[in-house]
Structure 1
Amino acid sequence: MRTLVKAMFTVIVLLLSYSCKDIKTEQDQSQTKKEVTAKDILGNPDYLAISYGAYREKTRDLTVQPTLSEIKEDMRILSAMGIRVLRTYNVHLPQAFNILVAIRQLKEEDPDFEMYVMLGAWIDCKNAWTGEEPDHEVESVQNESEIARAAALANQYPDIVKVIAVGNEAMVTWATSYFVRPGVILKWVNHLQELKNNGQLPKDLWITSSDDFSSWGGGDTSYHTEDLEKLVKAVDYISMHTYPYHNSHYNPEFWRVPEDEEGLSEMEKVEAAMLRARDFAQAQYRAVSAYVAGLGVEKPIHIGETGWATISDGHYGPKGSKATDEYKEARYYELIRDWTNAEGISCFYFEAFDEKWKDAHNAKGSENHFGLFTVDGEAKYVLWDLVDRGIFKGLTRNGNPIVKTYGGDKKAIMLEVLVPPAINE
């Protein structure tokens, strides 16, 4: 009898042992699944990306910085619509740090919550934003501390920060207030890569710079410098910007209705123009790809910014290129997401929410209206189907439930759709 009991005890111990091993294996697999890297995220359509600013006021003054509760409100909204990667732009203001704190708290509240960050480090030239003449040959003394803060945050939040972007449109020469030469960006990219190599930054952290397609060699050959070639080789991937929206004014040939389309209906003309806008973005992407390939470099290329505004009283409005309305924003978003998702390209769509500080003196300035949501949390036409599906049920922004713009009246939306000008206008 004792022998039988002993045998049964041994069997039970073995079963419990194997059961515990199975549980531990499942836990390990679950943990492993969540420990994603930039390489896993970028180009993965399961990790949709977006540019994000939490600012709700006409200023970014320290007295009106977004609160943790406001940021967590936004995180829940973006997560509900499938966004998993955010892009920020600087670390010298509290917003970036608060975004990381908010994400950490949401992860502690819900272990299944996922949100990652491409952390921007702002780069300026000497005298930028001071009222004095910018010196584009010398960098700002503030750049060093900006990079140091970005590195510190990447170390403090390695489970969230997966990319550091050195500068935003910091090399393109039309950024006359602050641009620097590629050598400055190269210096700081190399510095961060060296920190990685020395174990002072997470080894899987990716380093890039996010800039206009032309700054990455896809446009004017004046950008094709030795330092740019070195930079292409130094970054982990290329983050390029493309804006057919802005080019509807500055390079309108692709946008205007050609003679062979004059017989189309108004909405057919709009659709044809939006397809050309997508093709314009694709052409700029191919131009950067060709330049990089011409250097003998194989490097991932993703889209750090592209977007479409919904209000403009200037170059892009009724008296300009007529590119601006909610219908066109929705169509551009659909076309760009379809293309980039199919091709394995990450697109940090610009942007999540309207931010009225960007053109504080002109409420109808286009820079204030690139969001998929209004400041008060109304979902623009691009997101109406998500509202209908109940994706945002129970979620709020600024205390407001997520509802459709225009009171959900599609006829009102369509009345504001403007047909692009004819090629000969």
Structure 2
Amino acid sequence: MNNSLIQILPVACVFFLSACGDMTTPDAGPPATESSITKREFNPALNGEWIGNGISYGAYRDGEGPGQGLTSKAHILEDMQIIAGRWNLIRLYGSDPQAENILEVIEENDLPIRVMQGAWLDKHKTDAENDEQIRLAIEFANRFPDIIVAVNVGNEIFVDWSYHRIDDMDGVIEQIRQVRASIQQPVTVSDDYNFWNKPHAKKIANEVDFICLHAYAFWNNKTLDEAMAWTESIYRDIQSRHPDHKVAYCETGWPTSRVYGDGSYEGGLIGKAGEEQQEVFFDQYDPWVNQNQVISFYFSSFDENWKGGFDGANPMDKAEKHWGLYKSDRTPKQALR
């Protein structure tokens, strides 16, 4: 759902498939030999204290975006100082110069922040570009071993509605194995619940140290009143399907804006969006995470106005731009005031 490299399909196509479930499966190839990995524990801590209640981070500000240069280190430092006031764990989505700057800012300023580092894989990229993501993820994990606490290989690369979906599951397994063999940190794959609830997901689960789960009540056409119960039920369902794995909630949240009645999938959803609605969801979700010590990366820290495209009658109202607990100008929304 988020990354400086993501490309957004028309939401009518994308999220219809999300709500209705898998229509086909990735090419799992021939039956794989069940992995015999010894799982590495993912239990993020700082100075002996659990810090598993984390948040996703994208650095781009208004007027910035993919292909438009890097966010300044001064702006990244400002963001990290804001985040460190409440969270000690962040998720980064790609291994690239932007991520390197973020990691350097954390290191140079001795900030109390730990990172789940991502490698962004995309079927529209060349093999060399995808290989570079893997190479840099390994390099960063070994260069910043006290900062990076886990590595995520691929984001929403198997669920059917993903624009950058990868069909070669065995190829991804080789990349997972390459990363695990090259670093000490636990390794995972992040994907929607409509992948992890399918039988063929077991093949990936056999290769990872923990499950990274995405689930959005809003996109799955739930009302705010239903949202938290649905969110918890999805978590419990995936736990039951993968009983030998720790499950982390690596994306969930509630938007503060959306379009209505424009004929798109988003326009027909029943959930209302706004700061009051986000506050209600966050005030239910955040204590649940802490009370149950569910590792979580809430989506997201800051609004990112480059996302979601600029088509339609009211493009700046699109939900994809408005998942942050802070506005794009870095002022807090109602949930944090």
**How has the CA–CA distance of structure 1 residues 194 and 318 changed in structure 2, closer, same or farther, with 3 Å as cutoff?**
closer
**Which of 210, 234, 240 is matched with 2:213 structurally?**
240
**Counterpart secondary structure, 2:219:** helix
Task: Report if the CA contact (8 A) 1:351-1:371 is conserved.
Answer: yes
Partner of 2:121: 123
| Aligned equivalents of 2:231, 2:272: Cα separation in 1 | 15
Could you tell me how far apart the structure 1 residues matched to 2:336 and 2:193 are?
A: 28
In the TM superposition, what is the alpha-carbon distance from 1:321 to its structure 2 partner?
1.8
**Which of 256, 267, 271 is the aligned partner of 1:310?**
256
State the match for 2:109 in structure 1.
106
> How far apart are residue 62 of structure 1 and its match?
4.4
Q: Using the TM superposition, give the Cα deviation of residue 64 of structure 1 relative to its aligned residue in structure 2, in angstroms.
A: 3.6
Aligned pairs (5 A) from 1:9-408? 38-41=42-45, 46-80=51-85, 82-92=86-96, 94-107=97-110, 113-125=111-123, 128=124, 140-195=127-182, 201=183, 203=184, 205-216=185-196, 218=197, 223-225=198-200, 228-248=201-221, 252=222, 255=223, 273-274=224-225, 276-293=226-243, 298-314=244-260, 320-361=269-310, 362-384=315-337
RCO (CA 8 Å, sep 6+): is it higher in 1 or 2?
Answer: 2
In 2, are the aligned partners of 1:45 and 1:341 still within 8 Å (CA)? no
Contact 1:185 1:209 (8 Å CA) reproduced = no
Relative to structure 1, the CA distance from residue 46 to residue 170 in structure 2 (aligned partners, 3 Å threshold; closer, same or farther) is same
Contact 1:213-1:240 at 8 Å conserved across structures: yes
5+ residue gaps, structure 2: 1-40
Equivalent in the alignment of 2:4 = none
- TM-score of the pair, normalised by structure 2: 0.79
CA shift in 2, pair 1:114/1:316, >3 Å: farther
Q: Is the 8 A contact 1:165 1:210 kept in 2?
A: yes
Shift in alpha-carbon separation, 1:343–1:182, aligned structure 2, 3 A: farther
Q: Which amino acid aligns with 1:159?
A: D
- The letter for the 1-side match of 2:317 is K
Give the Cα separation in 2 of the matches to 1:319 and 1:207: 37
In structure 1, C-alpha distance between the alignment counterparts of 2:327 and 2:177, rounded to whole Å: 39
Shift of 1:141: 4.1
Instruction: State the Cα deviation string for residues 317-339 of structure 1 (Å, max 9, x = none).
Output: 78742421111111111111111
Instruction: State how many pairs are aligned.
Output: 288
- Once the two structures are superposed, residues 71-93 of structure 1 have per-residue CA deviations (whole angstroms, 9 ceiling, x without a partner) of 0001111111x20011011113x
Question: Which residue identity is paired with 1:57?
Answer: D
Distance 1:300 1:319 in 2: 35
Q: The residue matched to 1:281 in structure 2 has which SS? A: helix
Q: Which has the larger radius of gyration?
A: 1
TM-score by length of 1: 0.64
C-alpha distance in 2, partners of 1:318/1:145? 38
What percent identity do the matched residue pairs reach?
A: 28
The residue type paired with residue 156 of structure 2 is: E
CA–CA distance in structure 1, aligned partners of residues 283 and 169 of structure 2: 33
Task: Output the aligned Cα RMSD.
Answer: 2.2
TM-superposed CA distance for 1:347, in Å, is: 1.2
Which letter does structure 1 place at the counterpart of 2:71? P
Label 1:245 to 1:291 Cα distance change in 2 as closer, same or farther (>3 A): same
Q: Cα offset for 1:167?
A: 0.5
Which deviations, in whole Å up to 9, do the C-alpha atoms of 1:115-169 show, x marking residues without a partner? 01101101122xx27xxxxxxxxx8442211101110011111111111100111
Q: SS where residue 317 of structure 2 aligns?
A: coil
Q: What do the CA deviations read for 1:351-397 (whole angstroms, capped 9, x no partner)?
A: 0000011124121111000001111122110011xxxxxxxxxxxxx
Runs of 4+ aligned structure 1 residues displaced above 6 Å come to 316-319
